[in-house]
Amino acid sequence: MEELFLINGGKILSGKVNVEASKNAYLPILAGTILCDGEVIFHNVPNFTDIHNMCEILKRLNVKLFSSGEFLKLDTTNVKNEKITHELTNKLRASIFLLGAMLGKFRQAVISYPGGCNIGQRPIDIHLNAFKSLGVKVIEKHGYIYCNASNMKAGKVTFSSVSVGATESLMMCTCLLKGRTTLCNVAKEPEIVELARFLNAMGADVQGAGTDVIEINGVPKLQGGTFKVFPDRIIAGTYLILGALCGQKLQINGFKKEHNEYLLNILKETACEIVEKNDNIIISANGRNKACRFLETAPFPNFPTDLQPQIMTLESVANGTCVLKENVFENRFNHVMELNKMGADILVKDRIAVISGVEKLYGADVFATDLRAGAGLVLAGLIADGYTTVHNVHFIDRGYEKFEEKLSSIGADIKRIKIE
């Protein structure tokens, strides 16, 4: 059975939309619960398939989960050091976080390679080299990674290049390791700061998250506790771009300005009207937006790669030409062909897309190729003339909860169609 979105574009969207908790903060934090002795209770777990897949892996490690709605209790008292097999890891890039957490807890792990969105090779060499630099023995064979950290020692790790996941892996791997570990050339995404906040709330001593150097002073154990994760900045950014396209006093609840400063500054140069409040923002489209002449993705606090497909939709109907460079992933332009089917005028050469703004897009039959490409295509369908069908919505469900219901609640004409 296939599910797709059927969108009748051209509606003006208004009202209030609440942003779910951050997928990319919850995924490492859920993996990190195995470091805690006792019960960990979360109050706002989002209903994303990536989250469900992470919980499936935790169950295989004998973590007991009790959930009702957004409330999730995990009992890690009897967590086991099981081999994490391919059918579990290939659905989820974030499965790699279990490696760092298991090395932190058990000093030993066997895990298959992570899957994830096809936006590039997605290697894990930065993770593995960082583990090795602390004395972890790593053997890769027959599709599995065998790690022995019995001789792991606290020390200094300088990542060969900035990696969100590798930074998070090493934070988890060392928070129960005696001594001080210093991480250099780290990622500074808000999700890194949130992971440190979680670990410290459970009794860890992680300092400097969000800056260039993170210091972890190992503690003997982490206890359980309760926790709530901040709103998803990529979902918030997606709705903000939607508002710039076709919003009329669209209010986004759960918008943290410090998480989307770069996007906000871009949108302030366009025609749209923005009213900022404490933890929400109100945006209205106001005629055709001026193109952003040059834009490139880069690690936080620069423009996030996870909003690149969505901003491409905005630029595809802007007045002028935008040169957009994708610096983070080597294969993150799969949505361009789909947008051009809708009448966009976008040329791609290597990591550069040249977007010549057109007056309007037209409905078409398009295919999501990954989570954020899918979100960008939904935005395109919402402003296009006529009907658009967006296939492969399972990609979108990985990081947007009932996207069609949320969009319908603010006036979109969008339905989820099941095809046997």
Hey, which residues are catalytic here?
117
Minimum CB distance to ligand EPZ smaller for 145 or for 291? 145
User: What CA–CA distance (Å, rounded) separates 267 from 274?
Assistant: 8
Question: Percentages helix, strand, coil for the chain, rounded to the nearest 5?
Answer: 35, 30, 35
CB-based contacts of 91: which residues, under 8 Å, 6+ apart?
A: 53, 115
Question: Quick one: tokens of 101?
Answer: 């957490």
Binding site for ligand EPZ (CB under 6 A): 23-24, 27, 93-94, 117, 120-127, 163-166, 187, 305-306, 328-329, 371-372, 399
Q: How far is the CB of 92 from ligand EPZ (least distance, A)?
A: 8
Minimum CB distance to ligand EPZ smaller for 9 or for 399? 399
Which single residue brings its beta carbon nearest to ligand EPZ? 165
Q: How far is the CB of 163 from ligand EPZ (least distance, A)?
A: 3
Q: How far is the CB of 224 from ligand EPZ (least distance, A)?
A: 24
Question: In 115-254, which residue ranges form alpha helices assigned H by DSSP?
Answer: 125-133, 164-174, 190-201, 233-246
Cβ atoms of residues 94 and 100 within 8 Å = no
Residue 248 to residues 185, 244, 257, 265, 409, Cα–Cα distance (Å): 42, 9, 20, 19, 14
CB atoms within 10 A of CB 137: 14
Minimum CB distance to ligand EPZ smaller for 276 or for 330? 330
Question: Quick one: tokens of 83?
Answer: 């081999």
User: What CA–CA distance (Å, rounded) separates 259 from 189?
Assistant: 9
User: What CA–CA distance (Å, rounded) separates 135 from 155?
Assistant: 10
Minimum CB distance to ligand EPZ smaller for 126 or for 379? 126
Region for residue 116 given its phi and psi (left: phi exceeds 0; alpha: psi -120 to 50; beta: otherwise)? left
Question: Quick one: tokens of 23?
Answer: 């997928």
Minimum CB distance to ligand EPZ smaller for 4 or for 192? 192
Q: How far is the CB of 371 from ligand EPZ (least distance, A)?
A: 5
Q: How far is the CB of 167 from ligand EPZ (least distance, A)?
A: 8
User: What CA–CA distance (Å, rounded) separates 232 from 44?
Assistant: 11
Minimum CB distance to ligand EPZ smaller for 227 or for 400? 400
Q: How far is the CB of 232 from ligand EPZ (least distance, A)?
A: 9
